[in-house]
Amino acid sequence: MSYQLYRNTTIGNTLQESLDELIQYGQITPALAVKVLLQFDKSINQALSNRVKSRLTFKAGKLNTYRFCDNVWTFMLNDVEFREVQEVAKVDKVKIVACDGKNVDDRR
Amino acid sequence: MTMSQLSVMKLYNTVVDDVIAGVRDCFLDDGVDEQVLQELKQLWKTKLQATGAMDPPQPEPQIPPPPVLQNFQKANGNNVLPKKTDTYMGQQGSSQNSGVEHGAPVSNLAGAHPHHVLDPNNKVPVQLTLPAQPGVPGSQPRSFTIQIPASALNGNKLHQVLTGPIINATISLPQPLAATLLQQHINSALAGQQNEFDGGGGGGRSGAAPFSLDGALDSSDDEGSNVGDGSEDGAGDDDEDEESVEERAEEEEEERDESGGAEEEPLNSGDDVSDEEPGDMFDTDNVVVCQYDKITRSRNKWKFYLKDGIMNLGGKDFVFQKANGDAEW
């Protein structure tokens, strides 16, 4: 079982929109769309853990809110500075949603 | 952040191909034509492209500078850079001294075609030039094109909005991020000003310039706790809420005109609502979706050890294998 949380990203949302259109035009069934999404979960989880090598650090001016529910952490951070080596990106507000990474071996 | 962004496009292509290949048998089993599968792939890729989230960092724009700027450079030769640096440090309000170079549309509007009237709600592209970073060798002045409502070209609105702090904040950012940040800042700041002007100049409210700064780059720690200063939440925060907040503000302006007084109260009540609905606070444009290795807390100091993340910051996607960070609650 792969995490489904990546469905709520640019690549996940655009897939869901595409599937919705195909369902509306009657070209696929909702059941088939679900299978595609499950395949997406598998593919994106694998791709992230095997193909991505970049490392970042970040520093937040303030942890505004935190929430821990069903093993999922949600944080609202203010005045966050992301840093990758020399490069810096600043945002005034960011939401972090994080699932437990320790289950990673169970779900392969 | 170049690396984490450059790999995004490659990663997404891999995932799309992988998913399409992985469900081919499911499609066959369901008796769905291969053509539909290809259509899905095409739809998905098109939509992904359309988000602009994985546009590669823009190279320095090749657009020749507007004529005015060229003359300026010729006339002043080597003085161009120091002069710009001075002006951005100085924060003067007058149009000639602010750190903003107006592109051709502006000069047309102001000078050559005075009768050329634009719809005030039209968006006009304006070219800005950020000076080279002081003390950074090899740093170049950079130009962006941003969209602003035509109405903001009148008067000095742009100069009220683009003050020293925002320039300082964007100067060190990578090009696409800086452009996005500037655009967001201008949008939210102008939206706020628009409110004031539409409402007949809401008397005693805080001035436009300090208000506009808070939207994008307030680095003070008190954000969120300043319940008393209602004007901050009006335009600087969640985009989704902007319309309703504006409508609410307008309605309340009308009420205020009738009752005459109690100026802060309506906005405060708006704040109270958002305080009571923590759901609203979780709406934000910048989202990181990832997994945690470890989250630690010691007193109010938190440390985050994250991995396998997809971030959307200012409309651009980034990915990371590891991201460690800290914050105080």
Identify the H or E element spanning B92. none
DSSP category for residue B296: E
The CATH number of the domain holding residue A83 is: 2.30.18.10
B89 and B46 part of one domain: no
Q: What is this model's ipTM?
A: 0.93
Residues A33-53 have a mean pLDDT of 95
The CATH number of the domain holding residue B308 is: 2.30.18.10
Residues A47-60 have a mean pLDDT of 94
Residue of A10, A32, A99 lying closest to B312 (CB–CB): A10
| Cβ within 8 Å of A, B 15-44 | 15-16, 18-19, 22-23, 26-27, 30, 32, 36, 39-40, 43-44
Task: Give me the pLDDT at residue B183, please.
Answer: 73
Split into its structural domains, chain B has a count of: 3
pLDDT under 70: residue ranges of chain B? 1-6, 56-176, 178, 182, 185-186, 189-284
Residue B310 domain-assigned?
yes
Residues A58-87 have a mean pLDDT of 94
Cβ neighbourhood burial of A62 (10 Å; 0-12, 13-18, 19+): buried
Strand blocks (E) in chain A: 55-69, 72-84, 87-100
Q: What are the φ and ψ backbone dihedral angles of B92, each rounded to 5 degrees?
A: -70, 155
A46 and A10 part of one domain: yes
Q: Do B284 and A93 touch (CB under 8 A)?
A: yes
Residue A15 domain-assigned?
yes
Residues A57-82 have a mean pLDDT of 95
B147 Cβ neighbours under 8 A, 6+ residues apart: B123, B124, B125, B126, B183
B101 and B166 part of one domain: yes
The CATH number of the domain holding residue B27 is: 1.10.287.100
Residue B237 domain-assigned?
no
Residue B280 domain-assigned?
no
B91 and B185 part of one domain: yes
Residues A2-17 have a mean pLDDT of 95
Q: Among A34, A51, A68, identify where a domain stops.
A: A51
Q: Does the pLDDT value for residue A47 go beyond 90?
A: yes
Residue B141 domain-assigned?
yes
B204-212 long-range contacts, CB within 8 A, separation 24+? B204/B263, B205/B231, B205/B263, B205/B264, B206/B231, B208/B157, B208/B160, B208/B161, B209/B160, B209/B161, B209/B163, B212/B160, B212/B161, B212/B163, B212/B185, B212/B188
Residue B44 domain-assigned?
yes
- Domain of A79? 57-100
Residue B249 domain-assigned?
no
For the record, the structure tokens of A100 come out as 């437990």
Name every chain A residue with its beta carbon within 8 A of the beta carbon of B287. Answer: 8-9, 94-97
Task: Give me the pLDDT at residue B113, please.
Answer: 43
Split into its structural domains, chain A has a count of: 2
State percent of chain A over pLDDT 70.
94
B181 and B102 part of one domain: yes
| Cβ within 8 Å of A, B 293-322 | 293, 295, 302, 304, 306-314, 317-322
Task: Give me the pLDDT at residue A13, please.
Answer: 96
Q: Do B320 and A54 touch (CB under 8 A)?
A: yes
The CATH number of the domain holding residue A46 is: 1.10.287.190
Q: What are the φ and ψ backbone dihedral angles of B202, each rounded to 5 degrees?
A: -55, 80
Residue B246 domain-assigned?
no
- Domain of B25? 2-51
Residue A9 domain-assigned?
yes
